[in-house]
Amino acid sequence: MTKQYKNLVNGEWKTSQTEMTIYAPATGEALGTVPAMSQQEVDAVYEAAHQAAPAWRALSYVERAAYLHKAADILVRDAAKIGAVLSKEVAKGHKAAISEVIRTAEIINYAAEEGLRMEGEVLEGGSFEAASKKKIAIVRHEPVGLVLAISPFNYPVNLAGSKIAPALIAGNVVAFKPPTQGSLSGLLLAQAFAEAGLPAGVFNTITGRGAVIGDYIVEHEAVNFINFTGSTPVGERIGQLAGMRPIMLELGGKDSAIVLEDADLDLAAKNIVAGAFGYSGQRCTAVKRVLVMDQIADELIAKVKSRVDQLTVGMPEDDADITPLIDTKAADFVEGLVHDANEKGAKALAQYQRQGNLISPLIFDHVTTDMRLAWEEPFGPVLPFIRVHSVEEAIAISNDSEYGLQASVFTNNFPQAFAIAEQLEVGTVHINNKTQRGTDNFPFLGAKKSGAGVQGVKYSIDAMTNLKSIVFDIQ
Ligand code: NAP
Ligand code: G3H
């Protein structure tokens, strides 16, 4: 009999009539069941949150911060326990899963502290009329109300904490929908907030398949802000359903690593391998293509290959570098990209190997722009190298993508690095390092189809608050 996980609704743990079983992607082991909530149960979540909102927003930042610090302490205490479940549930290396929980505690603490620095401003009138000088505006941040936070399978805890903590410290109430594959860990995160003593209804959870209840929870008029991380198609759908309501969308990416002739190739190879193959490539910020100057391509690719050959392939509990992908559909998708590249003449530097959902890491040389691998997000351990003949060509291919999350530039010519960074249509450019979110106080955003709105503790708080001005006339 597997453990029955429950939803946190109005301070109580609730089951539903329908339950879903969550299986480990790596072994097929049944890990537990979670409720598949009905629409009426979602209504009850939203009603509880609205009832709890006035008292929560009336607290001082210091009082709200105390709850957050407590939740963070509980996460640190339980990191091994939560990490063990997370590791099995999303087939993430055991150490990486524990570190995801610790990083979440850090974000929660940071958000609590950032809340203490939430300041408004006082403005003096300054329009063309002389009388405007007599006006004074007090501008303050107010909570938006009820925030719906939706996290993806690859960081079910961390990309939940990065939404929930800034929302709560700002005085909002929260409904959190974890990914179905990731909902056990998501509900363990909720347990930490519940144990921290958050007042009933301030933080609630909703489980159920996005394909079934997604539209209902998003369209619901009780929701004031939707904070979503996940795929671009689902993000676009949420954008359509949101109407006039504010949203934050962190979506897919096709991050380029651009390697110039003068780059330190050992440093580039190390970062490219870590960036492309961490968590088997299932990161929005993974290096998803390398644009390398032709003169140095052979040398760089040899260095990358020798590192890739050392990656271990196996099970999450053994902390293998490459673990099974989240499901068969994901592995089939990667396989489709591999076949397309093979058929169109790219050169695979190893034999393609797949056992179930476990795909061995593979690099392709001589990828060209007519291949799907040049443009699509594999979300798996396959990395294309595209040889280029000029900086302009590298920038053009990078910018031709529908995505615009991040990019890396490897060079020791810093003026050139800055010039390239200015031209890349992405949210962040890393110089001589892999693409990556964070640190978590930095702004994190995507251009084009990679998102809308800006994450990062301070930026998330700003996004999930409204400004209100109170204007005085001094007579
Ligand atoms: P996904 O399929 O879009 O799912 C993300 C979340 O949305 C899950 O909780 C999912 O629930 C829910 N959902 C699905 N359909 C929904 C709907 N119609 N309405 C509301 N919610 C719905 O993405 P994923 O496969 O979990 O994550 C991988 C993708 O996320 C990749 O494209 C990756 O690049 C992107 N990602 C982006 C960032 C970033 O910060 N830019 C970070 C991480 C991941 P169910 O699980 O129940 O379907
Ligand atoms: O998957 C998307 C995450 O936002 C990536 O975070 O760069 O820290 O792995 P990371």
Q: What is the pLDDT of residue 336?
A: 98
Atom of ligand 2 nearest to the CA of 279: 9
Task: Give the number of the ligand closest to the Cα of residue 183.
Answer: 1
Nearest to 316 by CA among 107, 132, 88: 88
Nearest to 412 by CA among 256, 221, 259: 259
Alpha-carbon torsion, ordered 169, 175, 178, 180, to 10 deg = 180
HSE (CB half, 13 Å, CA atoms) of 253?
35
Which whole number is the average pLDDT over 222-248?
98
pLDDT at 119 over 90: no
Nearest to 352 by CA among 340, 365, 366, 335: 335
Which whole number is the average pLDDT over 262-274?
98
Cα of 211 vs centre of ligand 1, distance in Å, is: 11
Fill in the DSSP letter of residue 444.
Answer: B
Q: Is the CB of 218 under 6 A from ligand 1?
A: yes
**AA letter at 262:** D
Task: Give the number of the ligand closest to the Cα of residue 453.
Answer: 1
Cα of 461 vs centre of ligand 2, distance in Å, is: 19
pLDDT band at 132 (very low <50, low <70, confident <90, very high): confident
The CA distance from 140 to 284, in Å, is 34
Q: What is the pLDDT of residue 23?
A: 98
106 is catalytic: no
- Residue having the nearest C-alpha atom to atom 42 of ligand 1: 284
Q: What is the reported pTM?
A: 0.97
Dihedral sign for Cα atoms in the order 386, 389, 395, 396? negative
The β-bridge partners of 448 are: 403
Tokens of 397: 């291919």
- Residue having the nearest C-alpha atom to atom 6 of ligand 2: 437
Order of strands, sheet of 406-410, starting from the edge strand that comes earlier in the sequence = 347-348, 362-365, 382-388, 287-293, 255-259, 406-410, 428-431
The CA distance from 249 to 403, in Å, is 13
Atom of ligand 1 nearest to the CA of 233: 3
Q: Is the CB of 379 under 6 A from ligand 1?
A: yes
pLDDT at 1 over 80: no
63 is catalytic: no
Q: Which residue among 150, 185, 403 has the greatest number of ligand 1 atoms within 8 angstroms of its CB, and so is best to mutate?
A: 150
Exposure string (b/e) for 1-27, b if CB count within 10 Å is 16 or more?
eeeebbbbbbbeebebeeebebbbbbe
Q: Is the CB of 180 under 6 A from ligand 1?
A: yes
**Phi-psi category of 353—alpha, beta or left, where left has phi over 0 and alpha has psi -120 to 50?**
beta
What does residue 442 show for φ and ψ, rounded to 5 degrees? -80, 155
Dihedral sign for Cα atoms in the order 285, 291, 293, 296? positive
Q: Helix, strand, or coil here: 3? A: strand
Give the tens place of pLDDT for each residue, 372-421: 999 999 999 999 999 999 999 999 999 999 999 999 999 999 999 999 99
The β-bridge partners of 8 are: 13
The β-bridge partners of 471 are: 137
Query: Which DSSP string corresponds to 361-375?
Result: -EEEES--TTSGGGT
- Of the residues 250, 317, 376, 422, only one is catalytic, namely 250
- Residue having the nearest C-alpha atom to atom 9 of ligand 1: 179
Q: How many CB atoms are closer than 10 A to CB 414?
A: 11
Q: What is the pLDDT of residue 194?
A: 98
Cα of 338 vs centre of ligand 2, distance in Å, is: 24
Cα of 276 vs centre of ligand 2, distance in Å, is: 12
Q: Is the CB of 211 under 6 A from ligand 1?
A: yes
Q: Is the CB of 239 under 6 A from ligand 1?
A: no
Give the tens place of pLDDT for each residue, 283-310: 999 999 999 999 999 999 999 999 999 9
- CB 149 within 8 Å of CB 175: yes
| Mean pLDDT for all residues in the chain | 97
Give the tens place of pLDDT for each residue, 157-184: 999 999 999 999 999 999 999 999 999 9
Give the tens place of pLDDT for each residue, 2-59: 999 999 999 999 999 999 999 999 999 999 999 999 999 999 999 999 999 999 999 9
Cα of 56 vs centre of ligand 2, distance in Å, is: 31
Cα of 151 vs centre of ligand 1, distance in Å, is: 7
Give the tens place of pLDDT for each residue, 182-194: 999 999 999 999 9
Q: Is the CB of 207 under 6 A from ligand 1?
A: no
Task: Give the number of the ligand closest to the Cα of residue 445.
Answer: 1
- CB 325 within 8 Å of CB 106: no
Q: What is the pLDDT of residue 206?
A: 98
| Pairing of β 382-388 and β 362-365 | parallel
- Of the residues 106, 284, 376, 377, only one is catalytic, namely 284
The CA distance from 4 to 15, in Å, is 8
pLDDT band at 108 (very low <50, low <70, confident <90, very high): very high
Q: Which residues line ligand 2 (CB under 6 A)?
A: 154-155, 283-285, 436-438
